[in-house]
Structure 1
């Protein structure tokens, strides 16, 4: 299995929806390095194919990562890509399950990082998750969440953002970029991922939909969870990166 090919195809599919994705990751790594140094223990939350951990190790080779996800296909790609790398540990857990932390290390994390993931969840489990993270991060550590965070109070600006995104996607599709459904169709055609794909589809079928919230909602929930300070490290209209300091 060519895991690097799968990584590249995943990146290209995600960039269809997030043209500034790599800039977002660059800022995320800047925040981690400035806040907790160059050898952090990081929780890669809803890790997918290990995208954040890959950027983390490229920037900070002495970092360590605990990567958590529930999707068997994405975890298979991640595990294959990092085979033999002792810096990373993978954990299968559903963040919507209140017991998701049971398999984690007892050692507190310097940083918890997540990207384009929590909008898949409803408000109540995200609020509970933020309270969980406040218990996992050491004092002075950080939580960084980069995700879709549209503000319903700015409908005209939201329309401008939609126009920008549509233009980008038209250009990317013309150049051969796959969208979400097309990418999963390529997974379905790969016999080497048949079992994992079946598991992923079962998860999708059970998923009841998530909720997107504006920056202010995330900052308030994080303060209520016990984080000392919250704010925005990066934003592109409806996509933002919230940082919370423990």
Structure 2
């Protein structure tokens, strides 16, 4: 694991920069987080033990701990650059722990602090997995969430039954992104380019590029071939052992699906 001696202001700057970059794609990002936390508190109470799955820089952990200060979080991810930012941001906060693990490895749950967890939360992260590996991941999560606990995934979950609506939304959103980019907003590849140019993070950025490719050079470093519908997510969660599951929030392109163990 690579560590860097950035000061607190630098960590905060990169954390906030990540959030702004994500909001370039998802202007409603905070709304999905709000609903996610509402459902967490409603179903498992105000002091949950949370697994922040594919945590990135710890955006979900940050929002959980700000809203529910007696909660604890464990963030798990494979990306060394994003985990460096997460660890730096939460340095000294004993409520937050971060673990390096590959979610495609069947044994990744053994790397976690002992469970089970009250809530497993993830957002805008699992779309890079194809259908069958994602189904297998959901099966493993059924053993990580305690009985009565919850799993929530907020991600791109398209409805292909409405092609005209989808086309109009796509055009509208692209126009909005171009406008924000003209105003100086960074997209995915631009953000990674800026990170790699920071002397304090250049080495860990190269570690990340060795694992996943450099977004500034690779046209698509995510799965862009298979996107599962919200109905697929809900039914798959029931198939692998969740007692109830359904959509609890949706936008024209994305949804938040909740599974109750």
TM class, shorter-length: over 0.9
Query: Partner residue of 2:217?
Result: none
More helix by share: 1
Q: Is the 8 A contact 1:19 1:168 kept in 2?
A: no
User: Aligned-residue CA RMSD in angstroms?
Assistant: 1.4
Query: Are residue 137 (structure 1) and residue 152 (structure 2) matched?
Result: no
Match of 1:100 among 100, 108, 114: 108
Match of 1:116 among 124, 146, 155: 124
Query: Are residue 209 (structure 1) and residue 209 (structure 2) matched?
Result: no
Deviation at 1:170, TM superposition (A): 2.0
Query: What secondary structure, in the 3-state scheme, does the structure 2 residue paired with 1:135 have?
Result: coil
TM-score, normalised by the number of residues in structure 1: 0.96
Post-superposition CA distance 1:198-246 (Å, at most 9, x none): 1111222396736311111111111111101111111001111000100
Post-superposition CA distance 1:13-53 (Å, at most 9, x none): 10010010011111111010101000000000000000000
> Following the alignment from structure 2 to structure 1, what is the Cα–Cα distance between the partners of residues 119 and 162?
32
Post-superposition CA distance 1:144-195 (Å, at most 9, x none): 0000001222211211221231132022112210000000000111121122
Pick which of 187-196 and 34-43 moved more: 187-196
TM-score, normalised by the number of residues in structure 2: 0.91
Query: What secondary structure, in the 3-state scheme, does the structure 1 residue paired with 2:200 have?
Result: helix
Q: Is the 8 A contact 2:157 2:228 kept in 1?
A: yes
Query: What secondary structure, in the 3-state scheme, does the structure 1 residue paired with 2:69 have?
Result: coil
Query: Partner residue of 1:21?
Result: 29
Query: Are residue 197 (structure 1) and residue 197 (structure 2) matched?
Result: no
> Following the alignment from structure 1 to structure 2, what is the Cα–Cα distance between the partners of residues 133 and 99?
12
Q: How many residues align?
A: 246
Structure 1 residues 231 and 184: CA distance shift in structure 2, 3 A: same
Query: What secondary structure, in the 3-state scheme, does the structure 1 residue paired with 2:143 have?
Result: helix
